[in-house]
Each structure stands twice: as structure tokens, then as C-alpha cells.
Amino acid sequence: MNIITINDYHDLVERQATVLVLGYFDGLHLGHKALFDKAREIAERKKLPITVLTFHESPKLTFARFTPDLLLHLAYPEKRYAKFEEYGVDYLYLMNFTSEFAKTSSDDFIKNYIEKLQAQDIVIGFDYQFGHNKTDSDYLARNTTAQVHTVGEIQFEGEKISSTRIREAVTKGNIELANQLLGYTFTTRGIVVHGDARGRTIGYPTANLAPLDRTYLPSDGVYVTDVCVKGKTYRAMTSIGQNVTFGGTELRLEAHIFDFMGEIYGEEIEISWLYKIRDMVKFSGIDDLIAQLEKDEQFSKNWA
């Protein structure tokens, strides 16, 4: 897959006719995958490449009052790009959604972007809108020579699959639902750093993780996880939150990795979140904490 960063339509390179997929794809969940399944079916039948035109960050940054969560993603960039490639994308065009771009009319978008990319077929979601006048798929179909394919709403358990629904599931700790909606496992990537080293004194040494990316984190609690270290995956139990038993006030992300020995400070690891065991609890003493950790360990090892 070729990844091309552009400032605007002046940077577009005219290539052969293509199947163009449009939208902002945070997380590339199962709803998004339906668009790429459709694009791949067309591309294989017509022997055309698949092109995506999308944005580095959420378009909401251009319109809404800033809050830190607007910079958060469901997947870090490299994982997002890997999913695009897995879904069959040949050319990925990335640009910033700026105030200048937001002024683009629907007609100019068709002329300067869609036509310049030589879109023979266009695949969009049912709720896709474009241009500063927010026109829809019907307008697009009437004003382009490309064939427009609109993919309907994809649901899970009677509700629309959306990035918003997944973000809510993650931040509420409903990791199982988030993973079902994504179609793959939600992950957090980071570097192993020094912590209080308290875990090793009670038989549960942990890898303390400093997150590398602007991605969402699950709600406070203890989770069944898989941890990838140096290309090998281990089952683990991972806690996120303040260490309230010991009076902690800072957010800590700590993974106790089963059947693993060795120092890995400075290593980049990735945590795959599988299931929330429980909330963070303030224990009355070390013995109560250890007893609960033993239960968490057995649960994690037996979780399928």
C-alpha cells in the first residue's frame, strides 16, 4: 500500500481509474469494513486499484470547541494503516481537515478531488456528507460520471456500529463489546518504565507502561489481557487506575505477565484488552490484596 500525505488537491497525482472510498475512518470498525468489502468486490471485478482519501485527525477539530478527547483515536496510526492495507487499499491519501478545506463546495470537491483521482466507482456510507454545503450521496450520484455505491447501516445487537459506540464501550470498560464492534482486539502500545517496584515484593511483578499514542484507554479496573513482548504474546492481567490501596493518586498502567522472566525496561510492548475482571478496589491490607490477585490470576489464565 502506498501512503501519500497531501496538503490539498494540488498535490494529487493522477493515476489510473480507481475505486474511491471516502470517509473518516477512526478505528476501522466492522461498519467501515463493509465499505471496503464492497470496494474490494468492485475492484476485483473491474481489475482496479482501491484508493482512500481521508484525514489525519477528526474533522470535528475544525468545528468544535477544543477538548483533549478530540485528539484521541481508537487505533494508533500504524495500526490504522495496517488495517487499510488488510482491507485491500492500494493508495491511501491523508490530509489535514483545515478551515480552508472546510470551505470547499461540493462541486469543487467533485472536480478537484474525485475527478482528479479518476474515480470510476465511489463507495461511501449511508450517512456520508461532503462539501461546505453538506450534500449527500444523491447529489454526488447526479453530479459525477462515477458510479456511486452507498453502503447501508451495519448493526450489532440492533444498534448501529459506530466509532462513538466503540469509544463509549472502551471508556466504560466494556472491552468485549468494543472488540466485537471493531472486529479485532483493542490495543494500547507503550514503553516499559520504572514504577514503585511494589508488585515484585508480593510475588506479582508488573511491567509499568507509559502509553506512546493518543489512543483511548479503558476505564479503571483489572483486565484479562494479552501482552506482546519482542514479537511473542503472553497472557497477562493488567490494571489501570490509581493504586488506591497504597494511596496512589497517579494513573498507572501495569501488566503482570504470566510465564515471563526478564528485564524489559525501555522495550515497546502492546497490550490487547480482552475482558474486564473487576473495578479497582481499596483493600484493607496486603493479605487481602494478594488473595484477590490470586483469584484474578486464575480467572485470567482460564479465560478463553
The residue ranges of every structural domain in the chain are 2-155, 185-302
Whole-number Å distance between alpha carbons of 164 and 147? 29
SS3 call for 104: coil
pLDDT for 198: 66
Model's pTM, two decimal places?
0.92
Per-residue pLDDT for 256 more than 60? Answer: yes
pLDDT for 133: 87
Whole-number Å distance between alpha carbons of 118 and 145? 10
Mean pLDDT for 195-209 is: 77
Element (H, E) at 102: helix 99-102
Residue 87's pLDDT band (boundaries 50, 70, 90)?
A: very high
CB of 181 closer than 8 Å to CB of 73 = no
Q: What is the dihedral of CA 135, 141, 147, 151, to 10 degrees?
A: 50
Mean pLDDT for 224-236 is: 96
pLDDT for 236: 97
For the stretch 144-161, pLDDT in tens is 999 999 999 999 999 999
pLDDT for 80: 96
Output the nine-digit C-alpha cell for 7.
496538503
CATH of domain 185-302: 2.40.30.30
Bridge partners, residue 278, by sequence: 222
Whole-number Å distance between alpha carbons of 189 and 46? 39
The strand ranges marked E within 117-267 are 119-125, 147-151, 155-156, 159-160, 187-193, 207-211, 221-229, 232-241, 252-257
Question: How high does pLDDT run on average in the chain?
Answer: 92
SS3 call for 22: strand
> CB within 8 A of 2, min separation 6: which ones?
90, 91, 92
The strand ranges marked E within 153-231 are 155-156, 159-160, 187-193, 207-211, 221-229
pLDDT for 215: 95
Mean pLDDT for 24-46 is: 96
pLDDT for 15: 81
CA angle 269, 270, 272 (to 5 degrees): 150
For the stretch 111-150, pLDDT in tens is 999 999 999 999 999 999 998 888 888 999 999 999 999 9
Residue 254's pLDDT band (boundaries 50, 70, 90)?
A: very high
For the stretch 285-302, pLDDT in tens is 788 888 889 999 999 999
> CB within 8 A of 137, min separation 6: which ones?
124, 126, 128, 148, 150
pLDDT for 245: 54
> CB within 8 A of 100, min separation 6: which ones?
8
Mean pLDDT for 3-27 is: 93
Per-residue pLDDT for 26 more than 80? Answer: yes
pLDDT for 199: 63
SS3 call for 288: helix
Fold of 2-155: Rossmann fold (3.40.50)
Q: What percent of the chain has pLDDT over 90?
A: 81
